Amino acid sequence: MDKTSVQKKEWEPKIIAFLCNWCSYAGADLAGVSRFQYPPNIRVVRVPCSGRMSPNILLDALKAGADGVLVSGCHPGDCHYISGNLFARRRFAIFKSLIEFLGIEPGRLNFSWISAAEGEQFAKVVKEVTERVRALGPARRLVKEI
Amino acid sequence: MSSIPNRPISQSPDSSNPEGSVLVVGGGIAGVQAALDLANSGFFVYLVERTSAIGGSMSQLDKTYPTNDCSACILSPKLVECGRHLNIKILTLSELLSLEGEPGAFRALVRQNPRYVDPNKCIACGQCAGKCPKKVPNEFDLGLSKRKAIYLKFPQAVPLKYAIDPRYCIRLNKPGRCGLCEKICPAGAINFKDVAKEEVLNVGSVVLAPGFSPFDPSDLDFTGYGRLPNVVTSMEFERLLSPSGPCQGHLKRPSDQKVPKRIAWLQCVGSRDINRSGHAYCSSVCCMYAIKEAVIAKEDAHGDLSASIFFIDMRTPGKEFEAYYNRAIEKGISFHRARVHTVLPSQEDNNVLIRYADEHGVMREEEFDLMVLSVGLELSKEAIELADRLGVKLDPYKFIDTDVFRPVVTNRPGVYVCGAASGPKDIPRSVTDASAAALEAERILSPSRWTKTKKKVFPPERDVHAESPRVGVFVCHCGTNIASVVDVEAVRDYARGLPGVALSQDNLFTCSQDTINHMAETIRKEHLNRVVVASCTPRTHEPLFQETLRDAGINKFLFEMANIRDQDSWVHQNEPEAATEKAKDLIRMAVAKVKLHEPLPYNSVPVTKSALVVGGGVAGMNAALSLADQGFPVTLVEKKSILGGHARKFYRTWQGSIVQPYLKKIIDQVESHPKIDLRLETTVSSVEGSVGQFRTGLSDGSTVEHGVAILTVGAESYKPMGKWLYGENPNVHILLELDQIFIKDPESLKGLSQAVFIHCAGSRVPERPFCSGICCTHAITQALELKKLNPDMDIFMLYRDIRTYGQRERLYQEARSKGIIFIRYDLDHLPDVRQEGKDIVVEAEDLILERKLILHPGLLVLATGVRPRDDMGELSKLFKCSVSSDGFFLEAHMKLRPVDFATDGVYLAGLCHYPKSMDESIAQAQAAAARAAIVLSQDAVPAESITAIVDQRKCTGCGVCTHVCAYHAISIDPAVGKASVNTGLCKGCGACVAGCRSDAVTLKNIGNRQILAAVEAAMDTMDI
């Protein structure tokens, strides 16, 4: 496929999903085992814990050209590392306000709790996030045009 | 029954040279736990399972109480560990036929029934079941759904291999017909000629964990079960709730698939019922599981559900159970104290109509959409036959009989039991029992530790630091699982062009043994120094591929997986083009990331092979003896000047055994044991180090070095000073004070004409909301003792719910039959106690007669509960372990790690965990010892390799990282004012990395660099 044909194709959002190893990544696997279908727009990066995610990485993902970001961890109280997801929750609550201040649509940043048992929930969240980001259009705010 | 074939008689058992292997019968959670504990502490385990996969009843449950954890999710890792364990041999579809020999030298004859599928070839693609034309009832769903004659027991089955059910298979029953599975199987795994095999196993000990069967209510006509379509058992209801069950987790009732809006639970079906089911005992778990099912069903319906539970006594005596019950009440679950006697079909719509008498004796009728029978637990027919074959004695309730003071020991020496087979019990108690059984099994085998086990040996690793990346990419077809959607050849060719990729191959099954061997060879031949496997999920397969890297002589952390099946081909089945593009992206991301991976050390900590036990009560002494008997030195620290703790005041166990002679015996054993260093009047003052290497300072000024610690500091009786005349009238006692009279001067009680017991004195009230669980039984034991001393004595028990769970129910029945009078009270009608002259007057309201009752007892006994010690907080801080909201120690996981703390190498047992009876304390102490022995039997324990690391040049010493670390693994080094990581404590979660504002902390191989490389690679569409 050459470059021009890519550009001709209808725009599809690309979403980076940071999933914690113990719950949400397992939930994504379960969606597969159960064959729940969802849009092919996400690219998963497996991280040990949602508490591993710093706002910097999310900004970097947007800078790299991601149209949306999803961070998903264990439900509160279920964290494999005792409290990592709670730190993530606090961090991102504040981060969301900063993002708005920067003029980035908050809908580009998505957080969810998905357990290892919630395959269907995973598929549902991916569908919702994909639709939300698609409606916002391409993210250009942080991307340097060369 | 077959007998063991003639073979040379092995030499008579030699206590210094017993067999270093153990047979575990039953692959449920108890058997799995026992097998893991034994295999991890140096014994080879044969795990014999009757069905085609391990997992037992727990794998069928939806959620577990009181945490509402998903059952399959918390169980599955244990099953996988069991399945992959080098020193556990799982024999599925197998049974133990006979057992000869004696402890240390048993010969067990095991029959393995044919699976008709070669497990070495089967790749669990499921195409066979897709083609199989024979639909049969699915036993895993209790017949609520269908499966095929060739089947996988459940999606997470271990081993993940199909099996043919010979009862239904067309080909096996009519040779020459069908055989479709054989034709479709891409791996050639079907073997219709498979036959049963018998094998003699030489083992030193045997652990029985056959589990339970849910009671079958078909014969209880009044329940309507079997006649009315919308009457189901609780186990069936679990499957209806389960996401992997017949309604995919969206509860629907069987008759018309409608969503039920009104559900009733009927408690004690097949329990506490001598009349109809012949089960006099209480099944212990049904009150809690009914509450759980009601709560989950209501949550799933977003509150739009009316849930009613009909019960006799609400029995929620375990840790956090009472709080769970109270929350259920708040959530609007309604509880009716009534035994339903009639269940009828309603006029319309297959609903269920029930009739019952409410507490005031008024007849009521109510209609429900669905009714759940909370069926009890019993030993299965197969397990009873097994016990019979082995000469293992059953108790009167047909559970396996055990010793009071050695709660997992059966009458047959060398044969131990765990789980619900020795009495109805929940998962944590089954797991505790399992570890205790492992302890008993290894106790006599300890000289033969590591004699039968295999140890994996790896070649030395090549130093790849100086090499430029040479990435090998292996793309898997997974039969057709990936290849039917993703264009695997195109992806393979695409990967070849990625920078740094030296080689890209595709394989039909990357995880099959021959491909694995080929992969190792390729890594060596092609000098690969990074590997990417694009296939299924790293959660199941990463360890396998990482091992292959080690086999090929490179560090296992130079590896990354691209999940192109579970997270690609399976979820984009109708978008092959997009799925292929995604697969390319995922591989590009993996390649970009793995190029930045560095070899990591296989961290380990050498183990000091001795233990510290804190607390010299029954639990502490048992823990100490359990380890010392295996040759591990133990330092036993006791605050007081004498051993024995609470048990010194305790008269009789609920089973009827006198405590003091037993106590004297084990105190003697402890005091004379050469491996036990006893420190009386001593406390712990400081603790340094972590698992394998603790250094603990004691109040006598000495320092003890030890590899593990077991905390058994006990608890206290609640003394209600100034309430109910306690401390004011000499004839008012708490339970243990009456026990002391029984011990010292029972004659003084003979002249009493009336005694009153007040249950829940100071328990289950807002100040102390939890239920101590043991006081009901203890009080009733004492009431019976009083009756024995003076049969004419009038005894009144003022109670809220009688919680004589399990076989303890026998005492309650005996008490009632002996004329002891039980009068219920509730929080609105508390008994009033006052003194008139020297006499005690108790005024209570009989809620059934609705009349006041005035009693003049010569003895008033307050059944007060257990309260945690005040000094536990200090100890928990020293050992970095947690305390629950009730003030008791908090274990690592309520269900599956009941004797471990979250801090590695520290364990707990006895009353400091939660109130419990003596047999439960002993089992827990032995379990803690078994868990500790796993560490002590190693020369070194592995530590996390993916740990945080600080670049001290960047660190500003702000300390945020120290606050976010849940393991106290990172601290500010006062000498330099910079953060540093204790690798032994670090679990690699990365919280500190995210918290660091100076980018000074990173996580090895999952640093910002590696994550960003993956993110940028995901965006890189230029080189398509």
Chain A residues with CB under 8 Å of B493 CB are none
Confidence of residue A123 (pLDDT cuts 50, 70, 90): very high
In tens, the pLDDT along B420-479 reads 999 999 999 999 999 999 999 999 999 999 999 998 889 999 999 999 999 999 999 887
pLDDT greater at residue B4 or residue B94: B94
Q: Which residues contact A5 (CB under 8 A, 6 or more apart)?
A: none
Chain A residues with CB under 8 Å of B1021 CB are 6
Chain A residues with CB under 8 Å of B249 CB are 120
E-state strands within B81-237: 88-91, 94-102, 105-112, 135-137, 146-148, 150-151, 163-164, 197-203, 205-208, 213-214, 231-233
> Burial code of B382-420, b = ≥16 C-beta within 10 A, e = fewer?
ebbebbeebebebbebebbbbebbbbbbbebebbbbbbb
pLDDT on residue A142: 79
Is A39 a domain residue? yes
Chain B residues with CB under 8 Å of A123 CB are 571
Secondary structure class of A101 (helix, strand, coil): helix
Would you give the distance in Å from CA B462 to the centre of its chain?
A: 41
Residue A37 structural domain: 12-136
Residue B892 has pLDDT above 80, yes or no: yes
Q: Which amino acid is at B298?
A: K
- For chain B, the average pLDDT equals 93
Within a 10 A sphere around the Cβ of B705, how many other Cβ atoms? Answer: 14
Give the closest-approach CA distance of A114 to chain B in angstroms.
Answer: 12
By the 10 Å C-beta count (0-12 exposed, 13-18 middle, 19+ buried), B267 is classed as buried
Judged by CB atoms closer than 8 Å, whether chains meet at A31 and B571 is answered as yes
State the DSSP code for A137. -
What kind of fold does domain B21-113+196-212+380-459 have according to CATH?
A: FAD/NAD(P)-binding domain (3.50.50)
Determine if residue B981 is left, alpha or beta; phi over 0 gives left, psi from -120 to 50 gives alpha, anything else beta. Answer: beta
Q: Which amino acid is at B194?
A: D
Confidence of residue B597 (pLDDT cuts 50, 70, 90): very high
Which strand (E) or helix (H) includes residue A44?
strand A42-47
**The pairing of beta strand B676-679 with beta strand B634-637:** parallel
Tell me what percent of the residues of chain A surpass a pLDDT of 70: 91
Helices (runs of H) and strands (runs of E) counted in chain B? 24, 52
Chain A residues with CB under 8 Å of B989 CB are 48-49, 51-52, 80-81, 84
pLDDT greater at residue A97 or residue A17: A17
pLDDT on residue B77: 72
Give the closest-approach CA distance of B76 to chain A in angstroms.
Answer: 11
Is A5 a domain residue? no
Is A7 a domain residue? no
By the 10 Å C-beta count (0-12 exposed, 13-18 middle, 19+ buried), B625 is classed as buried
Residue B1023 has pLDDT above 60, yes or no: no
CATH number at residue A16: 3.40.50
Q: Is residue A22 within 8 Å of A80, Cβ to Cβ?
A: yes
Residue B904 has pLDDT above 50, yes or no: yes
pLDDT on residue B4: 46
Q: Which residues contact B596 (CB under 8 A, 6 or more apart)?
A: B1005, B1009, B1010, B1013
Alpha-carbon distance of B414 to B205, in angstroms, equals 5
Confidence of residue B738 (pLDDT cuts 50, 70, 90): very high
Place of tokens 């591993």: A52
Q: Is residue B161 within 8 Å of B122, Cβ to Cβ?
A: yes
β-strand partners of B1002: B949
A54 → chain B, closest CA residue: B994
* Residue of A18, A40, A84 lying closest to B989 (CB–CB): A84
Question: Cis ω on the peptide bond leading into residue B730 (within 30° of 0)?
Answer: no
Is A100 a domain residue? yes
In tens, the pLDDT along B220-276 reads 999 999 999 999 999 999 999 987 789 877 899 999 999 999 999 999 999 999 888
Is A6 a domain residue? no
Q: Which amino acid is at B856?
A: H
Is A143 a domain residue? no
E-state strands within B51-104: 63-64, 69-70, 88-91, 94-102
Confidence of residue B317 (pLDDT cuts 50, 70, 90): very high
Chain A residues with CB under 8 Å of B570 CB are 32-33, 35
In tens, the pLDDT along B10-19 reads 344 456 789 9
Judged by CB atoms closer than 8 Å, whether chains meet at B567 and A61 is answered as no
pLDDT on residue A115: 85
Confidence of residue B156 (pLDDT cuts 50, 70, 90): confident
pLDDT on residue B3: 44
* Selection from B426, B430, B379, B422 nearest residue B402 by Cα: B422
Residue B9 has pLDDT above 50, yes or no: no
Alpha-carbon distance of B788 to B537, in angstroms, equals 65
- Intervals of CATH 3.50.50.60 along chain B: 21-113+196-212+380-459, 214-378, 606-715+868-936, 718-865
Mean local confidence (pLDDT), B2-9: 42
- Whether B537 contacts chain A with CB within 8 A: yes
Specify the range with the lowest mean pLDDT, choosing from A51-55, B247-251, B608-612, B999-1003: B247-251
Alpha-carbon distance of B993 to B1010, in angstroms, equals 13
* Site from B540, B1011, B1023 to mutate, A interface, most A CB atoms within 10 angstroms: B1011
Confidence of residue B390 (pLDDT cuts 50, 70, 90): very high
A-contacting residues of B 456-475, CB under 8 Å?
none
What is the greatest pairwise CA distance in chain B? 100
Confidence of residue B24 (pLDDT cuts 50, 70, 90): very high
Token pair for B342: 């009639």
CATH (residue range B718-865):
3.50.50.60
- Whether B703 contacts chain A with CB within 8 A: no
Residue B629 has pLDDT above 80, yes or no: yes
Is A61 a domain residue? yes
Residue B655 has pLDDT above 60, yes or no: yes
Q: Is residue B692 within 8 Å of B903, Cβ to Cβ?
A: no
Provide the number of structural domains found in chain A: 1
Place of tokens 């599928």: B117
In tens, the pLDDT along B914-954 reads 999 999 999 999 999 999 999 999 999 888 899 999 999 99
What kind of fold does domain B471-594 have according to CATH?
A: Rossmann fold (3.40.50)
Residue B8 has pLDDT above 80, yes or no: no
In tens, the pLDDT along B476-532 reads 988 778 998 999 999 999 999 999 999 999 988 787 767 788 899 999 999 999 999
Judged by CB atoms closer than 8 Å, whether chains meet at B565 and A32 is answered as yes
pLDDT on residue B1021: 53
What kind of fold does domain B948-1003 have according to CATH?
A: Alpha-Beta Plaits (3.30.70)
Would you give the distance in Å from CA B341 to the centre of its chain?
A: 35
Helices B538-551 and A24-33 sit at what angle, rounded to 10 degrees?
100
Tell me what percent of the residues of chain B surpass a pLDDT of 90: 82
* Residue of B579, B989, B1008 lying closest to A48 (CB–CB): B989
Q: Is residue B826 within 8 Å of B800, Cβ to Cβ?
A: yes
Give the closest-approach CA distance of B300 to chain A in angstroms.
Answer: 13
Q: Is residue B899 within 8 Å of B908, Cβ to Cβ?
A: yes
Q: Which residues contact B539 (CB under 8 A, 6 or more apart)?
A: A21, A25, A26, A29
- Whether B821 contacts chain A with CB within 8 A: no
| Residues B214-378, CATH architecture | 3-Layer(bba) Sandwich (3.50)
Token pair for B1021: 């569409």
**DSSP assignment of B357-372:** E-TTS-EEEEEESEEE
Mean local confidence (pLDDT), B744-758: 96
Is A67 a domain residue? yes
Alpha-carbon distance of B52 to B162, in angstroms, equals 8
Q: Is residue B90 within 8 Å of B45, Cβ to Cβ?
A: no
* Selection from B910, B406, B782, B785 nearest residue B629 by Cα: B406
Mean local confidence (pLDDT), B292-311: 93
* Selection from B590, B586, B589, B560 nearest residue B572 by Cα: B586
What kind of fold does domain B114-194 have according to CATH?
A: Alpha-Beta Plaits (3.30.70)
Chain A residues with CB under 8 Å of B993 CB are 52, 54
Radius of gyration in angstroms for the set of CA atoms belonging to chain A, rounded to a whole number: 15
CATH (residue range B606-715+868-936):
3.50.50.60
Q: Which amino acid is at B392?
A: V
Q: Which amino acid is at B96?
A: L
Judged by CB atoms closer than 8 Å, whether chains meet at B567 and A44 is answered as yes
Alpha-carbon distance of B431 to B287, in angstroms, equals 20
Give the closest-approach CA distance of A98 to chain B in angstroms.
Answer: 16
Q: Which residues contact B765 (CB under 8 A, 6 or more apart)?
A: B827
pLDDT on residue B73: 65
Chain B residues with CB under 8 Å of A57 CB are 1008, 1011-1012, 1015
Alpha-carbon distance of B61 to B411, in angstroms, equals 32
